[in-house]
Structure formats: C-alpha cells, structure tokens
C-alpha cells in the first residue's frame, strides 16, 4: 500500500502544530504516537515509511531543549527501578543476617538435643534441665524468635 500523496505534508503540519503547542487532534505530547494522531496517519508511517520525519521531529524537540515524553517516562521508570533495587539490597542484607542467626540457633538446639539424648541413653534416670544458653553477639536471634 503506497502512502497518500499529502502524507508528508500532513506530518510536517502536525509537527508544527505540536511544537507550537496548538495541537488539534492529539494531546500534544512530544511523542511519535501523538504526532501520528495529529497528522491522521498510522504510527508505522513514521516508524517505517517516513523515518526521516520522525528523526526531524525528535531533533526539533531536542533543539528546543525539551525532552521527549517517551524519554521522560523512561527516566521516571529508571529512577523507580533504582529505588526498588536499593530497597531490595537492604532487605537482602537483613535476610542474610537473619539466616546467620537462625543457623546459630539451630546449631545450639542440635547440640542441646544431642546432650539430652546422651543423658537418656545413659539411663541416669531423669533428664536434667539444660542451663539456658547465653546469647552471643555472633548469633543474635532475629526479632520474633527470641
């Protein structure tokens, strides 16, 4: 399918309206989608047939020292993802500490269990109570498990 003969003219006129902040058919965003809507052409007309006009539009946007809306969206998303990554890193550090504490507590209980089993096997009668272990700095107990 060949493009309409006036398609390039409509795209240039739409470009002028958007850059002048006077859109008629679109929201005036500095995007190819808005430009295509404003020019009443399919988006692929700009991404496939008239890539020179698409590039010209973005060049004009940058020349006005404005950032295209698509780039602004991507920058916001990058910022949000960096914040999530930092939050995840903090949580990983906390979880690693919790794992160390749990491994220490499990080891301690295993030793106590072995001692109790030994006392039972020796047949000394009643199993004595084990002394409460002192908490060490090496293996703090995570909150909620103390």
pLDDT given at position 64:
80
- pLDDT tens sequence across 68-94: 777 888 899 999 999 999 999 999 999
pTM of the model: 0.48
Burial of 45 (0-12, 13-18, 19+ CB in 10 A): buried
Q: What is the largest CA-CA distance in the chain?
A: 104
């Amino acid at each position: 399918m060949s493009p309409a003969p006036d398609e390039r003219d409509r795209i240039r006129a739409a470009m002028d309206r958007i850059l002048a902040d006077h859109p008629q058919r679109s929201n005036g965003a500095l995007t190819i989608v808005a430009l295509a809507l404003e020019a009443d052409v399919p988006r692929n007309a700009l991404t496939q047939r008239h890539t020179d006009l698409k590039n010209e539009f973005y060049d004009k946007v940058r020349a006005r020292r404005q950032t295209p809306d698509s780039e602004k969206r991507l920058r916001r998303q990058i910022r949000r993802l960096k914040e999530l990554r930092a939050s995840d890193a903090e949580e990983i550090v906390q979880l690693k500490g919790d794992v160390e504490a749990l491994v220490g507590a499990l080891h301690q209980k295993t030793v106590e269990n072995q001692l109790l089993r030994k006392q039972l096997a020796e047949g000394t009668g009643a199993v004595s109570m084990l002394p409460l272990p002192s908490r060490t700095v090496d293996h703090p107990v995570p909150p909620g498990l103390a």
